[in-house]
Amino acid sequence: APGPGRPALPPRAGCIMILHGRLKNWYVKESPMKRLRLTSAALALALFAACAPSSPEEYSATLLAMDTAMTLTAYGGQGEAALADAQDLILDLEGLLSTTDQNSELYALNQGEAVALSSSTREVLEEALALCQDTGGALDITIYPVVRAWGFTTGQYQVPDDDALSALLERVDYAQVQLTGDTLTLPEGVQIDLGAVAKGYTGDRLMELFRQAGAASAYVNLGGNVQVLGSSPDGDPWRIGIRDPEGEDYAAVVEVTDQAVVTSGAYERYFEQDGVRYGHIIDPSTGYPADSGLASVTIVSPSGTLADALSTALFVMGPDRAAEYWRGRDDFDFILIGKDGSITISEGIEDSFSFSGEQGSVAFEVVRR
Ligand code: AMP
Ligand code: MG
């Protein structure tokens, strides 16, 4: 320990000396000489890593893509190059999956063109179609004609008349989409919207990229879709704030490692007419904005694609169906915030979940298996 007249060691050097000394003694007693030499080399390395500065180099970027502001942060590894690649990847995926960009692969598909699918488009379509089926059509990527009729793609909002809506609903049915190999076949008039899953899929791809670049940890916020690699640089789980749908503050915090935290809510995009609020998440069974009593749905899952797809689908289902659906799977947890401010979480995140406000002030329930 530093005493009078003796300068304190820099924390890093001190750390190595103290730990190395202690462990070496222990090994002298326990190990044969040959193994000792090997292990002490390995130990020295391990200790060096353990005693490296607690925050590895941080690399960060912000960009506007997929209709939203995105932040990317990576720690360690080939961070700078990885960030440049990450931005390229996002722009590439946007260029494939955008409904409105006339040069995108999805745009061509929606025009009925025969396109040899890129592996990314095929992968996201496969995952999305499987989830359309699994959610019984609460998620339906063929919702596009209806989304467009409400004006959510252009911002020219309107309440479509019922006849127009029923005509459009005839075209909404994910089961009509045929995906075989790299060929997608859409019947006349059927059009796909990947808005409910594209950012989640992008998150998965970014995690893969950062992992391959050797990053120790990373964090991306794709306009409300958060996904993290590893734990935070100080070794603790990442703390993710869940927005209060009624305000600018956080309603709660969830702690995660290697997971996606994705929120869907009508507050993200909506318009008001004659005192009624119309949100951008459509119930495919009615063609109307989903009105299931929920203000927002947050899904926590290792898969960004799953989290994104299910945040949309469970918003459509409403609290009771959402809980039933959750009981049938084991790969995600949820946080439901009701229009009345009540909070319902699934038991898997009970220990990693906390309110940011006063606990007593809201109704709170844990759903169990
Ligand atoms: P998210 O913000 O992930 O909940 O996705 C919402 C977006 O997905 C909307 O803006 C629409 O483009 C699209 N969408 C709306 N309703 C549905 C639905 N029931 N199934 C699939 N996509 C939908
Ligand atoms: Mg979604």
pLDDT at site 357: 61
Summarize pLDDT for 171-204 with one digit per residue, the tens: 999 999 999 999 999 999 999 999 999 999 999 9
Cα–Cα–Cα angle for 144, 149, 153, nearest 5°? 65
Q: Which of 356, 119, 80 is nearest to 243 (CA)?
A: 356
CA dist., res. 127 & res. 104, Å (int): 19
Q: Whose CA is nearest to atom 10 of ligand 1?
A: 280
Q: Which of 151, 156, 236, 141 is nearest to 197 (CA)?
A: 141
- HSE, CB side, 13 Å, CA atoms: give it for residue 270: 20
DSSP per residue over 86-116, as a string?
Answer: HHHHHHHHHHHH-SS-TTSHHHHHHTT----
Is there an atom of ligand 1 within 6 Å of 266 CB? no
pLDDT at site 213: 95
pLDDT at site 47: 52
Tell how far the Cα of 123 is from the centroid of ligand 1, in angstroms: 18
**pLDDT category of residue 29 using cuts at 50, 70 and 90:** very low
pLDDT at site 24: 23
Q: Whose CA is nearest to atom 12 of ligand 1?
A: 195
Is there an atom of ligand 1 within 6 Å of 145 CB? no
Provide φ and ψ at 328, rounded to 5°. Answer: -90, 0
Residue 252 or 355, more confident:
252
Tell how far the Cα of 328 is from the centroid of ligand 1, in angstroms: 23
Helix axis angle, 79-97 relative to 198-212, nearest 10°? 150
- In this structure, of 41-50, 69-78, 207-216, the range with the lowest mean pLDDT score is 41-50
Helix (H, G, I), strand (E, B) or coil at 224: coil
Summarize pLDDT for 231-259 with one digit per residue, the tens: 999 999 999 999 999 888 889 999 999 99
- Overall average pLDDT of the 344-357 stretch: 90
Q: Which tokens hold the place of 368?
A: 């169990």
Tell how far the Cα of 195 is from the centroid of ligand 1, in angstroms: 5
Residue 164 or 246, more confident:
164
Other CB atoms within 10 A of residue 85 CB: 16
Which atom from ligand 1 is nearest to the alpha carbon of 284? 19
CA dist., res. 327 & res. 156, Å (int): 39
pTM of the model: 0.85
- HSE, CB side, 13 Å, CA atoms: give it for residue 302: 5
Q: Which tokens hold the place of 264?
A: 């869907």
pLDDT at site 4: 38
Provide φ and ψ at 250, rounded to 5°. Answer: -85, 140
- The answer on pLDDT for 215 being more than 70 is yes
Amino acid at the residue 205? R
